[in-house]
């Protein structure tokens, strides 16, 4: 059975049991606790946490997931994967244990001819929580499982929670006995290779505090409504039903390995070392494609760093298989063909995905070249010192700073007859991992302080947003907080958080900053400083009481700062138009990667496969402003997500959309899913002026623009500047470029002439410097500080000239240039001096110490720099001692 069919059977089974089919969420949901979505229930967390009511009582989905905690283990075994698919069914206060067990058993054991998976019931085992005999009884009652195939386990294995305070509960896992050839008898508690877990049923019934029941902490009590959260491993079911030994041999993964075999000429299954590389390629290629498809781009932080690491591990593995040419786009195409039947967006967006992978591969190949040179230098130093081991700190620096994989370091070291201090390297890697875990633990406070907001939400419901049509409205205070704790009132001069039953204030989201304004009541004046969505559906106003008091249940008039709101709306509408124009110029690969809409100014980030042309950006600006002249109406409407996509609406990466979405139309030019505020007609923007563009990361470009009167002020300022320059240069403004270019050219020529004269003057001192040579045990030493302002090249030229004037005698020249904070120096030796063993590259080190610096170079000339000009005298004396020592 093909994997796509396994997914579809799961969804159809639960749809036939009155579950709503919910599409997979993006891998990069906005969750403070997660780098990537790592479980099927993540998109339903707000419902389980009680932050918002569930729109359905039953749901089913197949969620794409990425887990990155064991990246280094991927490939070494067949059990570790970064990308996987988790099929799940969910009940929000509807059916509970018996319903979940019955529906799971039906799907697992029902014949394939009737739409099930057709697993042999006699090979099914289950585990239950040691304090949950009810579930064991239900497996016997509903499924007819004999007691000897139901095993009890402790909380470490069979209790589930989110890792933070909130819902949790016992779970029951379904295992399939693969047969005696895979391990020992005795069920899952004895051997989890033979008895493979395929499905976990979580019975969410408890509320837990900060300490997890897994660690011996008691639960706080029962949830008011009991929920079901299950997760079936699609890939695991696939390799069982396809009669292969592991996920790497299934229909969605094996084709990538086949492509790697073709490129390398090697065969999977011949030796473990190559098999590890084949599996890394197959796993990471899938993960990379799926992450890029959801908007992640390679970078040096957070998600971007993980993606970069995955892609570079592919390149490393390919190289270790003997392939040195670029291959990532080819692997991406194989993944596309395998995965697009379930995820058609990969096919639609493949051009961009392929471009990102190609660019990252090109970057890394250049990094490998640099890393190889750094390694060669380190290896040469080690051998010169007589060492046979390359230090762990050097291997770690190659890995951490230059992105050079440890596997290649080990391989190249072996080629040079060296070992690597792997223990030292692993120790440094572990320190880095612990720092990362500490950072992750710090982030895991995302739900810790939300209980008061949830309490308001549960009691009063969601905040009704009026701001699409009204900027002033009557409202009632339903909650007040100060310092995170509820208070009955706020008095004059106090700051706090205020929650209204309805509000015209826009809460920051979707790149649009929050509204500000005032609240008025009986004798009260309250300034609204910020508005945020503390939990979904609840707008929390940060306020300062200007006059009077404000208390819970007070009726107020809310008034948004209209001028500021309209300025923000113009920026947001401009962002949509710029997005459309950029996509028109660069195609679908130019996808929005972030935005910021503030009063009069917008920022738009987009993915770009290469450099962004200034000419194209100029055309984008002209196109947008030409379209403004049409003054088309901006319309908004709510429709189904599928219908919106049929109409050509664009969705943004990482955003979570419900089944009903809000669409913003600006004629046929721009159509996007958006919850922000906009102008009524595009002519209200007046003018959009692009003021800067820059690269902010690998494949991500940023445009900043001014809108409306802010744009007009910018243009006027530029006009004034041009006028002043024209008056200064006494030419018409249209001749300024030529005039300025001419002046700059003459200035450069003058600077070159000044530099030539300076060098001539400096070189003219060569004779007197040579005459100042002192004899140090048979070696002529010229050591002095040059008072002229000379650069490094001029200083080298002077040393060379002085050295040549010393003739055939042994001679050493050391010249210094210093200012108040730093010193530069060059040391040169004559051939006769080198015959006596005086090497400039060695002498420069004795010079560097006294000036708190260092240097290096060749035998005839070396240079360096330091930060202690006061040490020049000591440096010259140190050089004299070196010469006497050499003579001795």
Side-chain half-sphere exposure of 413, counting CA atoms within 13 A: 24
Cα torsion through 579, 582, 587, 589, rounded to 10: -70
Residue 866: closest CA among 878, 882, 883? 878
Q: Which residues sit in the known binding site? A: 572, 576, 674, 678
Strand pairing report for 660-666 and 779-785: unpaired
CA atoms of 704 and 711, how far apart (whole Å): 11
Strand pairing report for 20-21 and 58-66: parallel
What is the distance, to the nearest Å, from the Cα of residue 853 to the centroid of all Cα atoms in its chain? Answer: 38
CA atoms of 253 and 231, how far apart (whole Å): 21
What would the two tokens of residue 424 be? 């030292």
CA distances for 222 relative to 168, 204, 207, 450, angstroms: 9, 9, 6, 19
Contacts of 756 (CB under 8 A, 6+ apart): none
What is the distance, to the nearest Å, from the Cα of residue 726 to the centroid of all Cα atoms in its chain? Answer: 47
CA atoms of 181 and 167, how far apart (whole Å): 40
DSSP sequence for 583-631: HHHH-TTS-EEEEEEETTEEEEEEE-SS---HHHHHHHHHHHHHHHTT-
> Under DSSP, is residue 179 helix (H, G, I), strand (E, B) or coil?
coil
Rg (C-alpha) for the chain, rounded Å, is 35
| Phi and psi torsions of 74, nearest 5° | -60, 130
Q: How far apart are the first and last CA of the chain?
A: 85
Contacts 24+ apart (CB under 8 A), 858-864: 859/829, 859/834, 860/828, 860/829, 860/834, 861/796, 861/799, 861/800, 861/826, 861/827, 861/828, 861/829, 862/826, 862/827, 863/792, 863/795, 863/796, 863/824, 863/825, 863/826, 863/827, 864/824, 864/825
> Under DSSP, is residue 168 helix (H, G, I), strand (E, B) or coil?
strand
CA atoms of 178 and 201, how far apart (whole Å): 21
What would the two tokens of residue 707 be? 């809108």
Q: Do residues 829 and 839 make contact, with C-beta atoms less than 8 angstroms apart?
A: yes
Angle between helices 422-443 and 406-415 in degrees, nearest 10: 170
Q: Which residues sit in the known binding site for Zn(2+)? A: 572, 576, 674, 678
CA distances for 187 relative to 177, 181, 197, angstroms: 8, 14, 11
Q: Is the dihedral of CA 620, 621, 622, 624 positive or negative?
A: positive
Please provide the size of the chain in residues. Answer: 888
């Amino acid at each position: 059975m093909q994997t796509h069919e396994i997914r579809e059977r799961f969804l159809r089974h639960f749809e036939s049991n009155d579950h709503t089919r919910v599409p997979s969420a993006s891998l990069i949901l906005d969750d403070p606790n997660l780098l990537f979505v790592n479980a099927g229930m993540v998109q339903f967390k707000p419902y389980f946490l009680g932050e918002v009511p569930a729109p359905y009582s039953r749901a089913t989905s197949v969620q794409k997931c990425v887990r990155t905690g064991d990246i280094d283990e991927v490939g070494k075994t067949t059990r570790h994967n970064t990308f996987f698919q988790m099929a799940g069914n969910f009940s929000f206060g509807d059916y509970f244990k018996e319903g979940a067990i019955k529906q799971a058993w039906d799907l697992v054991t029902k014949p394939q001819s009737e739409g099930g998976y057709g697993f042999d019931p006699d090979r099914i085992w289950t585990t239950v929580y040691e304090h949950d005999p009810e579930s064991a009884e239900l497996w016997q009652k509903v499924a007819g499982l004999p007691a000897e195939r139901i095993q009890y386990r402790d909380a470490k294995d069979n209790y589930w929670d989110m890792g933070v305070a909130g819902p949790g509960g016992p779970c029951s896992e379904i295992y399939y006995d693969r047969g005696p050839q895979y391990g020992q008898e005795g069920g899952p508690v004895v051997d989890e290779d033979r008895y493979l877990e395929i499905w976990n049923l979580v019975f969410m019934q408890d509320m837990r505090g900060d300490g997890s029941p897994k660690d011996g902490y008691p639960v706080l009590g029962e949830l008011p409504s009991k929920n079901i959260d299950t997760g079936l491993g699609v890939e695991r079911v696939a390799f069982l039903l396809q009669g292969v030994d592991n996920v790497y041999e299934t229909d969605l993964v094996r084709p990538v390995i086949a492509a790697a075999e073709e490129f390398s000429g090697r065969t999977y299954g011949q030796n473990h070392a190559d098999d590890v590389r084949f599996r890394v390629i197959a796993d990471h290629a899938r993960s990379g494609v799926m992450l890029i498809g959801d908007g992640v781009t390679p970078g040096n932080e957070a998600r971007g760093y993980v993606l970069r690491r995955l892609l570079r591990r592919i390149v490393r593995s390919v190289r270790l298989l003997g392939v040195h040419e670029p291959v990532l786009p080819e692997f991406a195409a194989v993944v596309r063909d395998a995965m697009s039947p379930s995820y058609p967006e990969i096919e639609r967006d493949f051009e961009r995905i392929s471009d990102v992978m190609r660019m990252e591969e090109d970057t890394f190949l250049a990094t490998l070249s640099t890393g190889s040179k750094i390694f060669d230098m380190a290896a040469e130093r080690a051998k010169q010192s007589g060492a046979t081991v390359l230090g762990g700190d050097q291997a770690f620096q190659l890995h951490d700073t230059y992105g050079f994989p440890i596997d290649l370091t080990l391989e190249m070291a072996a080629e040079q007859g060296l070992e690597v201090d792997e223990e030292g390297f692993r120790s440094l890697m572990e320190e880095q991992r612990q720092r990362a875990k500490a950072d992750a633990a710090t982030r895991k406070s995302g739900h810790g302080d939300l209980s008061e907001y949830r309490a308001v939400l549960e009691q009063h419901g969601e905040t009704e947003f009026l701001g699409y049509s009204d900027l002033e409205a009557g409202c009632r205070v339903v909650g007040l907080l100060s310092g995170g704790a509820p208070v009955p009132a706020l008095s004059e001069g106090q700051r706090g958080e205020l929650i209204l039953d309805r509000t015209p204030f826009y809460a920051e989201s979707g790149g649009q900053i929050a509204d500000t304004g005032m609240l008025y009541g009986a004798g009260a004046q309250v300034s609204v400083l910020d508005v945020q969505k503390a939990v979904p559906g609840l707008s929390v106003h940060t306020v300062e009481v200007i006059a009077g008091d404000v208390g819970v249940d007070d009726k107020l008039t809310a008034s948004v700062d209209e001028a500021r709101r309209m300025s923000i709306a113009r920026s947001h509408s401009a962002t949509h138009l710029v997005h459309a124009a950029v996509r028109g110029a660069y195609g679908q690969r130019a996808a929005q990667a972030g935005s910021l809409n503030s009063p009069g100014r917008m920022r738009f980030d987009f993915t770009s496969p290469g450099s962004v042309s200034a000419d194209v950006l100029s055309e984008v600006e002209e196109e947008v402003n030409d379209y403004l002249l049409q003054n088309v109406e901006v319309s908004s409407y709510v429709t189904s997500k599928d219908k919106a996509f049929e109409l050509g609406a664009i969705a943004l990466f990482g955003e979570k959309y419900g089944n009903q979405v809000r669409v913003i139309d600006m004629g046929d030019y721009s159509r996007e899913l958006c919850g922000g505020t906009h102008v009524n007609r595009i002519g209200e923007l007046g003018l959009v002026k692009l003021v800067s563009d820059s690269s902010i990361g690998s494949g991500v470009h940023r445009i900043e623009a001014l809108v409306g009167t802010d744009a007009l002020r910018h243009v006027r300022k530029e006009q004034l500047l041009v006028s002043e320059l024209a008056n200064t240069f006494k030419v018409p403004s249209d001749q300024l470029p030529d005039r300025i270019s001419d002046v700059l050219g003459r200035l450069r020529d003058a600077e070159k002439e000044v530099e030539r004269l300076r060098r001539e003057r400096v070189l003219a001192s060569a004779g007197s410097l040579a005459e100042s040579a002192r004899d140090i045990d048979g070696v002529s030493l010229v050591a002095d500080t040059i008072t002229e302002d000379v650069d490094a090249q001029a200083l080298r030229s002077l040393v060379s000239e002085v050295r040549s004037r010393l003739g055939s005698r042994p001679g050493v020249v050391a010249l210094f240039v210093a200012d108040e904070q730093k010193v530069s120096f060059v040391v040169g030796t004559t051939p006769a001096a080198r015959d006596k063993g005086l090497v400039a590259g060695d002498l420069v080190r004795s010079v560097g110490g006294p000036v708190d610096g260092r240097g290096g170079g060749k035998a005839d000339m070396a240079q360096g720099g330091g930060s202690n000009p006061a040490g020049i005298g000591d440096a010259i004396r140190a050089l004299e001692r070196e010469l006497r020592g050499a003579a001795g």
